[in-house]
Chain A
């Protein structure tokens, strides 16, 4: 309850705080529904995801079959909504095995993509300077927004953004950084740009979807090395 006895400035600050809290909660609910759909469908979506995991478990892509070896470029992984470094660990292990240098952003859970910018930029700068090359950001759903924002700020440290699952709204991409998209057929019926790839399967399982992984490896392989000194 607003305290009528408090000075006007203090009251305004408290109202702003309250309104920001409501904004955050609204945003969180919106992102959660946007990512996972209505709660009514969650049991069905979970069963579908488990089935998909079982069916794909023996896919040769996980063992690196028919995957071309990487050139050791730094690949910074940006988690999607309610995901974190732990959920991207299998992808990191796989990328390492096929010849890249995956880097995590030290994010426990992504509840608000605006909070990712700082840790993502720091992880990108660190990896890029350590390896002496521009990095590639591989971002998932709402994490793509943070990746695009950070790419705009850190053009000297990033060459490409690979969006695996698109968020509802995407900030404008800078011309100096290339954007590649991998999305599910459930979300988008047809590619709307040349470097957009459509795969079948559950959106929440995109980080371990064999078809998405194969495309990811092909995109990474085609990205030329950009040395930091060479600009």
Chain B
């Protein structure tokens, strides 16, 4: 298992201290976490599997984990600027980028605003924003937002009911509880959660996505209630040469529910061999056509 230090190093970037970790070996792969969650939330098996083939850069978004939690600057374009600062600090010019949920929106901002920094892009359980996006229903939004007065544990348990598939939750209660305990070590304060939520609602990259040049993998679970799979189809339409994978039976927490399959999907996409396979497949299809 990849070693995780209790205290993460911090870099002063874009006016705040951003906590980060780098481990593994191979081409650099930056992971961007979603709403309210910090870098502790990545599934350990997912991290371990990827660290064998890539140099992983994980960090706590502004307002979460061990990073600073200011009361402003949560626009997703600014979160992308934080990341650019972190890459500068680490002297990494270009890397693969994987964004999960709200992190996927930040990854889109990064790919649109700083295309030279993104080698390949993976967007997991996210949306492009704008009028064509389909947002969660009011009942789901209420579950995500009405967290005042709840302990971090209560809030995490409440959110789990809409992020995991009901069947997975039923069969893996202990696993979900263990995951929850990892996630609430450094709980996200209410103001940071509110400002992240607001920034995610404001986010709209739908017009800019046509300019994304990085090869892109869009993946989602077909049971996702929080960010319905329609959004991933839309992303795949808007981003030139994007590849779409819809994972059957998985919900918003697809990476946690089918960790091994997702890690292998990601690794194969990023891997040159995987790309060669894809090219071979495309050629074979073209020849067949």
Contacts and interface: CB of A to CB of B under 8 A. Distances in A.
Contact of B149 (A68, A99, A130, A225): A130
A101 interface: yes
Given A224-B71, A224-B72, A69 B198 contact: yes
Contact of B71 (A69, A99, A227): A227
Interface residues of A, number: 16
Contact of A71 (B148, B149, B189, B195): B195
B190 A131 contact: yes
B191 A225 contact: yes
B198 A70 contact: yes
Nearest to B193: A72
B271 interface: no
Q: Is the interface of B mostly helix, strand, loop or mixed?
A: helix
A102 to B, nearest CB: 13
A227 to B, nearest CB: 6
A225 B193 CA distance: 13
Task: Pick from B149, B194, B202 the residue with the most CB of A within 10 Å.
Answer: B194
Interface in A74-113: 99, 101
A13 interface: no
A53 to B, nearest CB: 25
Contacts of B148: 101, 130-131
A206 to B, nearest CB: 26
A59 B202 CA distance: 21
A99 B198 contact: yes
A227 B69 CA distance: 11
B195 A225 contact: yes
Contacts of A69: 197-198, 201-202
A72 B198 CA distance: 9
B4 to A, nearest CB: 29
Given A130-B149, A224-B72, A225-B72, A71 B194 contact: yes
Nearest to B194: A72
Given A101-B148, A130-B149, A71 B198 contact: yes
A132 B191 contact: yes
B190 A68 contact: no
Contacts of A133: 191
Given A69-B201, A71-B195, A224-B71, 5 more contacts: A72-B191, A72-B194, A72-B197, A227-B71, A230-B71
Interface of B: 71-72, 145, 148-149, 189-191, 194-195, 197-198, 201-202
Across the A-B interface, give the 4 residue pairs with the lowest CB-CB distance, nearest first: A72-B194, A69-B201, A225-B71, A71-B198
Interface of A: 68-72, 99, 101, 130-133, 224-227, 230
